[in-house]
Homo-oligomer: A and B are copies of this chain.
Amino acid sequence: MMFTASQIAVLIKGQIEGNPESLANSFGRIEEAQQGQLAFLANPKYEEYLYITNASVVIISDKLELKQPVASTLIRVPDPYSAFASLLHYYQELKTQQLQGVEEPCFISPTAKKGENVFIGAFAYIGEVSEIGNNVKIFPGVYIGNNVKIGDNSLLHPGVKIYHDCIIGKNVTIHAGTVIGGDGFGFAPQPDGSFKKVPQIGNVIIEENVEIGSNATIDRATIGSTIIRAGAKLDNLIQIAHNVEVGTNTVIAAQAGVSGSTKIGNNVMIGGQAGVVGHIQIADYSKINAQSGVSKSIKIPKSAVTGSPAFDYTSALRSQALSRNLPEMEKRITELENQLKLLLEERLNAAHLH
């Protein structure tokens, strides 16, 4: 997609300085942008780059006074960062809207229903009685099992797999390779040491406005539903076990894992590679530091924890600092022992003298 400076200026209601026909077809940072790119200058620290950038078009503040001539076409607005961000959103939407129609070959069950304005990529698979909402974009190689529902405007990237009976809300984005609805890890130990599978016949429900990264796994419930609430954001390679509930607007960073039946509250933040054991509750607005291992419920909202096992963040930092200084601490104990030994020997000698 190619835009002229004047087209861009209209979109962001800006004033042009320079050639209104300058063309931009991608975005760049002002310090490294190439010809044909659009950049912006918001932080005064970067002003020097304005005079040497190769960007064809640069969005700047309407208050900035130029100190040197500028080769790029300028577009002046009150808030260059917001104007740039809104262009990015506009660009992404345009790109997504261009995805239309059904590529062949793909496999769509005759009993599946699809809404209007849907894109279905090659090698995508849509199972029996599944329902695909309006404006849904299904990339190549996506697998949708039987009796799945995909809400309006949702976007499934290449190779996403959604097992039977799962429900995906509106405006959900799932990145490549993620698996929704695989069997929960449930096996009953037998007297001979072997394990018998516990059938996992629940499903996964993902509410609206959720985004999930690449190669994550969200298991179906044993009975009932594993639930990801509205607005939650999950990063790559995350594990969500059966019957877990992740609250509204909760954010989970890459490679973290939540064990079975645990209920994560709303607006919780979980750092990368953190783990949460099963069957506990995490209060709203809690913060769980990266690599923490949470082994019991967090009952007080806005708690912050770290460490494995995790405990209160501030105390943990103090303990960690002392833990590093253990050699020093041990020296102090040895010194005390030596001094005390001396005193005790003197006392003994004194006793003998008496």
Residues of A bordering B, CB below 8 Å: 26-29, 32, 85, 88-89, 91-92, 103, 105, 107, 121-123, 125, 139-141, 143, 145, 157-159, 161, 163, 173, 175-177, 179, 182-183, 185, 187, 193-195, 197-199, 201, 209, 211, 213-217, 219, 223-224, 231, 233, 235-237, 239, 241, 248-249, 251, 253-255, 257, 259, 266-267, 272-273, 275, 277, 290-291, 293, 308-309, 311, 315-316, 318-320, 322-327, 329-330, 332-333, 336-337, 339-340, 343-344, 346-347
Contact A85 B198 (CB under 8 A): yes
Apart from the given pairs A185-B236, A239-B255, A322-B330, 12 other A-B contacts in the complex at a CB distance below 8 Å: A85-B199, A105-B105, A123-B141, A125-B141, A141-B141, A157-B163, A193-B267, A194-B249, A197-B211, A215-B237, A237-B239, A323-B323
Give the contacting residue for A273; candidates B27, B197, B216, B273; CB below 8 A.
Answer: B273
Contact A177 B239 (CB under 8 A): no
Q: How far is the CB of A334 from chain B (nearest CB, A)?
A: 9
Given contacts A201-B88, A237-B237, contact A343 B346 (CB under 8 A): no
Q: How far is the CB of A271 from chain B (nearest CB, A)?
A: 9
Given contacts A161-B158, A215-B179, A237-B237, contact A275 B293 (CB under 8 A): no
Contact B320 A291 (CB under 8 A): no
Q: Which of A125, A175, A179, A329 has the most CB of B within 10 A?
A: A179
Contact B257 A275 (CB under 8 A): no
Contact A254 B255 (CB under 8 A): no
Q: Which of A29, A159, A311 has the most CB of B within 10 A?
A: A159
